[in-house]
Amino acid sequence: MVSGVALAVGLGALAFASQASATDTNPTSPDILLKSATMVTTYTANVGTNASNQVDAYSNGVTFSYQNSNALGQPIGGTSATVYTLYGFCVDITHDMFINTPLGYTYADTYTPVTGPIGDPLPTDLDSPTAHPISPAQLTSLTKLIDTGWLLHEGETGQNQAYINNANLQLAAIQAAIWKVEGGFVTLNNQYAVAGANVGGAITGAAPVDTVNDPSGQWTYLDYFNAYSTGAFTNLGDDNDSFYTIQEVLPTQGGNQAFAIGWPLPGVPEPATWAMMLVGFGGLGAMLRLRRRRVALTA
C-alpha cells in the first residue's frame, strides 16, 4: 500500500519493443531503482484475501519514475543516470507501498532486452504467507486486462478532459478487475460513480439498465468493473501478447508490492494509432489498489 496513498496489487503497463515514449521498453539492467510514483486517486475499493481482511485502497494504474541500478539500489551511472518511466498495475494483494515520499525501492524485472518477458510472468498470486498458483485461465485474463489497460492509458494522449475522465474511470475498474481475477476479494466504494459518456476502450453497447442507482443510463464504476472482471470486453492487444513483472529485491525495504508491465508483441498498432481507434470502441479501465491513509482527528 502507499502512505498517503497505498498501492496494493500490481502495476500494469505495456511496453513496445520499437519505441520508448512514456515507458522505458529496453532496460539494460535486471534491477531498477524506483524513485517516485503518481496515480489518479479519484476511485477507491476495499481489497483483501477475504471479506474480513480488506483494506481501503485507491484503484488505478500507477506511473513510476526509475533508474537502472545494481542489486544494492545504486543507480548505474550515478545520480545523473537517465530517469525512465513505467506505467503498470498492481498484482500483489497482501503487501503495501507508500508513495507520498521519494521511494528509493530496488526492484528486479522478469524481462531481457533480447527476448522480452521471461517465462511465466506471474506463477503465483504473491499472497503472504501462502502464495497460490495462478492458473493458465487466470494468466490469460490478466494479460488481456493489463495490456488493454495500458493501451487505454496511452490513448489518453491528446484527448480532451471528458475523454480522460472517462478513461480514468475505466482504468480504475480494470485495476479492481485485476485484483478480482487474481483471487482477491473486492468491493467498490462509490460504485455508482460516472464520468460522462463512454468515449473509448474495449466495451461496446449501452450501459446496463439501472433506473434506481443510475437513472442517467451512463456507464458506472460498477458497470465497468463487472464487464472487465468477467471478460465481457474486447482485448485491445493481441492474443499472443504477454507482460512482465517487477518485484522488490531488498526485503529490508518493507515488503512492497509487485507490479505487472504490459508487453504487446510486434504487429500491435502504435499508441498514436490507438488514440484514433479507441474513439470507435466502448469503455475500458484499469484499477490500482491504493490504501488510503487514515488520519486521526483530535478534538
In whole angstroms, what is the distance from residue 156 CA to residue 153 CA?
A: 6
SS3 per-residue string spanning 114-162: CCEECCCCCCECCCCCCCCECCHHHHHHHHHHHHHHHHHHHCCCCCCHH
| Mean pLDDT calculated for residue range 253-263 | 76
pTM (predicted TM-score): 0.79
The residue among 199 and 229 whose pLDDT is bigger is 229
Residues 179-196 have pLDDT tens digits of 999 999 999 999 999 997
pLDDT surpasses 70 at 267: no
pLDDT at 118: 67
Predicted confidence band of residue 255 (pLDDT cuts 50, 70, 90): low
In whole angstroms, what is the distance from residue 228 CA to residue 124 CA?
A: 21
Which of 192, 187, 269 minimizes the C-alpha distance to 235? 269
pLDDT surpasses 90 at 169: yes
- Grid coordinates of 297: 482527528
Predicted confidence band of residue 113 (pLDDT cuts 50, 70, 90): low
pLDDT at 275: 44
Across the chain, mean pLDDT equals 75
Predicted confidence band of residue 226 (pLDDT cuts 50, 70, 90): very high
Residues 61-111 have pLDDT tens digits of 999 998 888 777 788 888 788 898 889 999 988 887 777 678 888 888 776
pLDDT at 253: 59
The residue among 41 and 11 whose pLDDT is bigger is 41
| Mean pLDDT calculated for residue range 16-43 | 62
pLDDT at 103: 87
